[in-house]
Chains A and B, each alone.
Chain A
Amino acid sequence: MSSMTLSPRRVWRWASHSSLLGRLLFPVVCLLIWLVSIKAVTTIWPFAVDVLPTPWQVVEFMWDEITCHTLAPHNMYVTFGISLQRLAIGMAIAMVIGIVIGLAMGLSKAVDAFFNDWVVAILAMPNLAWALFCSLAFGFGDTGPIITVVLTGVPFVIMNVREGVRNTPTDLFDMARAFGVPRRRVIRQVLIPSLLPFLFAAARYAFALGWKGLVVAEVFGGQDGAGWTIKFWYDAHRAYGVIGYALLFVIFALVFEKFMFDQLSKRLFKWRPSLDAVEVVEEQFDAPTKASVGAAAGASTATGAALGSITMVTSGRPQSVDDELKPPED
């Protein structure tokens, strides 16, 4: 306890091991690079002042947008509302189609063979191509962007649902049969809960990728919405508008992800033992089982694996973030 003083060595050790510090440092470094490169470019080519926005310009623009002082036809809340509505409709359609095809593919080898190559093909298709095609096919309006969301989302839903069906817990079905549990109860309490993590993962994927597809589609085929508004600032030759609006969009998507999906995930999957929240209720002679509980929480179930990988894709952070925020105790 005597070594609690802040010796330089301790500070250095903390600094070099702290992921919090690393995380905070990142925006600072970015800002520095931004400022330095503006300085460098404008020294070489003075006219660039007009196209290279400073961070302050971007922040000021974002503040104006947040407080509804915008030159665009709609304020940011209306714009994101329009886009969100399209995304929701597109996702709903993608989920329905994806669940039907995914279930069929998981249950039948023939159906799986029929669709498999095409699902992979659609998956490999850049959503820019979908966006261009849809704006050509459906013209300006809601349809093009919505169809783009559907086409972007559907393969992920299909693949996740198929995986879910293939991983249905046969041992639990056998258990239910041995006890003579009625079919309806088995569907409600075994089949649906076992598919739920996969559906959730599918929705998360469809959301994250659907957003991107949607914005691209709105650039080409929209008359309003987030993508169209980014293009509006592009047409107005306001670089700070393009960057600022894109940042607002990222913030909006992250907030949505954080508040909707994380909260929903906590509610739906509270049965999953998180590694740090496992209450230790072991007998003293039963030590090895804790490890197995931990393993079950993460990787041993396909469910866990599916959810784990999705979390990484969409929010890009490991699950045990809380541990990292604490300074080391030694």
Chain B
Amino acid sequence: MADITIDHLHKEFGLGADKVVALEDVNLSIGGHAFVSVVGPSGCGKSTLLNILSGIDVPTSGRVSITQDGRPARAGYVFQAARLLPWRSVMDNMLFVQKDRNEATRKRCQHYLEMVQLGDKGSKYPGELSGGMQQRVGIARAFSTEPDVLFMDEPFSHLDAITARTLRKELHTIWAETGKTVVFVTHDVGEAVELSNRILVFAKGGRLADDIDVKLPFPRDVADSDVALMKADVFKTFENLGAMAVT
């Protein structure tokens, strides 16, 4: 289980009059078997936060450290789109992100493909799979590196409602079984309440506005009254911020 420390993180894009502040003085500490959702309106800097955490982007100032028992933690990333190499088979896509490629690695990849119920699709090209299946390969790929921490950027937002629901259930099961730390960016408050045990609410301008602990028992269903109440609570937080999300 990884420990994420974010210290006075600041990020801005552009210069002079075009300057946009994406993240403003964010201080956070995430640790343990946590499923942390980051919610907020479009342009509140949630994806930027994730990109900085995963090393795709660098902060303007401030410090981020992700450690696992004192050493740098390994990270996996699930993107909004699957981002598979179209010219490589599903299995080769899994192997692409592995440190070394031996029989054990191959077995591990196969194991995670089976976890997302695509065990027999290793030799297919991504173009031969449906969007939902590609996204599942993306999830399996992220887990297959056995990361200490998993970053997910709206992984279900491009899918239809039913596929998304199935994948959410699968994700929860995998998270419960493997005990990873997950940082999950979403604009869907219901999804956040259903999956996470902590919700970070960001406001426009990249400010961390609220930090909510979700103590409801799993498994949760959007139809449960507790979940619905919690969802309403989070929405109220948004309204108080005057930064109502477009969900």
Interface positions of A (Cβ within 8 A of B):
171-172, 174-181, 185, 189-190, 193, 269-273, 278-279, 281-283, 285-286, 288-290, 292-293, 296-297, 301
- Complex interface bits, B69-101 against A, C-beta within 8 A gives 1, otherwise 0: 000001111010101011110000000110000
**With A178-B56, A283-B163 as contacts: A193 and B128 at CB distance below 8 Å:** no
| Residues B130 and A172 in contact, CB atoms below 8 Å apart | no
| Residues B97 and A290 in contact, CB atoms below 8 Å apart | no
**Chain B: interface size category:** 20 to 34
Tell me if B108 counts as interface (CB < 8 A to partner A): no
Which of chain A's residues have a CB closer than 8 A to the CB of B132?
283, 286, 289
Question: Can you report 14 A-B residue pairs in the complex whose CB atoms are below 8 A from each other?
Answer: A171-B79, A174-B51, A175-B83, A176-B96, A179-B97, A181-B96, A189-B85, A189-B88, A193-B88, A281-B133, A286-B163, A289-B130, A290-B130, A296-B127
Closest 8 CB pairs of A and B: A273-B127, A289-B131, A179-B97, A178-B77, A289-B130, A175-B83, A271-B87, A271-B125
| Residues B56 and A174 in contact, CB atoms below 8 Å apart | yes
State in angstroms the CA–CA spacing of A203 and B56 once bound together.
35
Tell me if B104 counts as interface (CB < 8 A to partner A): no
Q: Please, which residue of chain A has its CB at the minimum distance from the CB of B162?
A: A285
Which of chain B's residues have a CB closer than 8 A to the CB of A297?
127
Where chain B touches its partner, the secondary structure class is loop
**Using a Cβ cutoff of 8 Å, how many contacts connect chains A and B?**
89
Q: Which of B16-32 contact A (CB under 8 A)?
A: none
Which of chain B's residues have a CB closer than 8 A to the CB of A269?
87
**With A281-B133, A283-B132, A283-B163 as contacts: A172 and B85 at CB distance below 8 Å:** yes
| Residues B131 and A175 in contact, CB atoms below 8 Å apart | no
State in angstroms the CA–CA spacing of A181 and B94 once bound together.
12
| Residues B130 and A281 in contact, CB atoms below 8 Å apart | yes
Which of chain A's residues have a CB closer than 8 A to the CB of B162?
285-286
The smallest C-beta distance from B217 to any residue of chain A, in angstroms, reads: 28
**With A185-B96, A189-B96 as contacts: A178 and B127 at CB distance below 8 Å:** no
| Residues B56 and A271 in contact, CB atoms below 8 Å apart | no
| Residues A282 and B88 in contact, CB atoms below 8 Å apart | no
| Residues B163 and A278 in contact, CB atoms below 8 Å apart | no
Q: Please, which residue of chain B has its CB at the minimum distance from the CB of A297?
A: B127
State in angstroms the CA–CA spacing of A297 and B129 once bound together.
12
Tell me if B169 counts as interface (CB < 8 A to partner A): no
Q: Which of B116-157 contact A (CB under 8 A)?
A: 121, 124-125, 127-133, 145, 151
Which of chain A's residues have a CB closer than 8 A to the CB of B54?
178
